[in-house]
Amino acid sequence: MSKVKTVKPNFVSTTNACKLCTPLGASLAFRGVEGAIPFLHGSQGCATYMRRYIISHFREPVDIASSALGEKNAIYGGGPNLKKGILNVMKKYEPQLIGVATTCLTETIGDDVPMYFGEFYKEFGDLDLPELVRVSTPSYNGTHMDGWHGAVRSMVEQLCLEETPPTGRVNILPSLVSCEDVRHLRDICDHFGIEATILPDISETLDGPALEDYVKIPEGGTPIRDIKTMSGSSATIEFGRCLPAKTGGTSLEERFGVPNHRLGLPMGLRESDRFFEALEDISGKPMPRRYELERGRLVDAYVDGHKYIFGKRAVVYGEEDLVVGLCAFLAEIGVDVVLAGTGARNKGLEEAIAKVTDGVARIAPQVREAVDFHDIAAEAEELAPDLLVGHSKGYRYAKAWNVPLVRVGFPIHDRFGGQRTLTLGYKGTQALFDRVVNAIIEKKQADSPIGYGYI
């Protein structure tokens, strides 16, 4: 009797991907520029989906324009819709900048956006035109972080075109962090006496004050004039150990000789130390006393909380550089990361994690790139984690396994204040450490038939 050979399907269905849409990341980055409107060259549904996702996290109104392509445009091209859409946005919003991100549809049919831009300038050059920036962001070729980094690089390369006189400023390319993190980074630079150009700066555009009247474009964001003069800065600091080879920081270094400092996200004691050391080198000033105190309090907290969390097991997931930062932090506090996952692929995640945990972590985590939560759920459950650390998309698994979820990153849809979650620097690490410790304590209380009033 012959064996029946099992035939595996030659495709993989995505059930719950650990990533988001590429143009969504570009839209977030464009939103961090003063007077900017994100514009998706594709179908209307793309913009609607992304608006909903962004609004649910940031709790702010977010407008994303669209060229609203239909079946006819999929055959004959979307150039006319793109031009008409730009004109409509100019009329309705009067923006300083329109950031155009492509989508799966327009990339698949081969729309030539640079050519369309050239035609638009020729046809409407007599008008008072805003700055137009384009970025290629098909979702089948990356994650929302690829869209974010691509948009930042495009803004640097398409707006900063000439070498300007030295400004003494420092460019900060912070990656996708919270609005509170961006505010904290600016405060740190201010205390060092550094004038910083933070690109993008979402601190006000995605977390603004209550206003009596609705404004079409919120105040705040990186001024376009500052982007155009980034070539005159004394240095660039960009966060990320898994960044693309070519970024906004490398572009400024290659074209204008601006020194580029690539650092990991300053999460945890050691990665924060590296950030502050870079600021000391660039500014020529010692660390301000307030940050020495913050660092000292963090070390003291590590000692006080050690007994609650040492040896606990964690599953970590999210954007690749966030995962690296979390692994660096958790290794410091004695938590064993048993599984680290990201939706991105070919980013060198395993090597980056090894670099920040070498000599500190007790075990090396299993590292998974291009993951779907559905695919790794069984594996993660067998590893018996004590907690999950990541965004809201992991909640169903935390609930099923009866373990706490410490929410970090984007998106956070099932809790309030995700845009104000601080994780960077000594102060942000302190806040994150407190949340991890309290999550473990709360789980112990909840599981006890008696309960504890004192732990």
Which bin fits 265, alpha (ψ -120 to 50), beta or left (φ > 0)? beta
**CA distances to 170, 183, 237, 294 from 290, in Å:** 21, 16, 22, 6
Name residue, tokens 């601190």: 203
pLDDT score at 318: 94
pLDDT score at 12: 55
**What residues does 134 pair with on adjacent strands?**
100
65-96 residue pLDDT tens? 999 999 998 898 999 999 999 999 999 999 99
The enclosing H or E element of 55 equals: helix 44-58
Query: What is the C-alpha to C-alpha distance for residues 386 and 389, in angstroms, rounded to an integer?
Result: 10
pLDDT score at 13: 55
Contact 22, 146 (CB under 8 A): yes
Query: What is the C-alpha to C-alpha distance for residues 341 and 383, in angstroms, rounded to an integer?
Result: 14
Helical spans, DSSP H, in 215-360: 224-228, 248-256, 269-283, 289-309, 320-332, 349-357
Determine how many CB atoms are found less than 10 A away from the CB of residue 228.
17
The enclosing H or E element of 389 equals: strand 387-390
pLDDT score at 205: 97
CB neighbours of 315 closer than 8 A, spacing ≥ 6? 337, 338, 339, 340, 341, 380, 383, 385, 387, 388, 389, 390, 394
Cα dihedral 227, 233, 235, 236, rounded to 10, equals 0
Q: Which of 365, 313, 358, 303 is nearest to 335 (CA)?
A: 313
Domains and CATH numbers, the chain: 22-159 (3.40.50.1980), 170-283 (3.40.50.1980), 296-447 (3.40.50.1980)
Low-confidence ranges of the chain (pLDDT < 70): 1-16
**CA distances to 42, 104, 140, 357 from 107, in Å:** 9, 5, 10, 39
pLDDT score at 11: 47
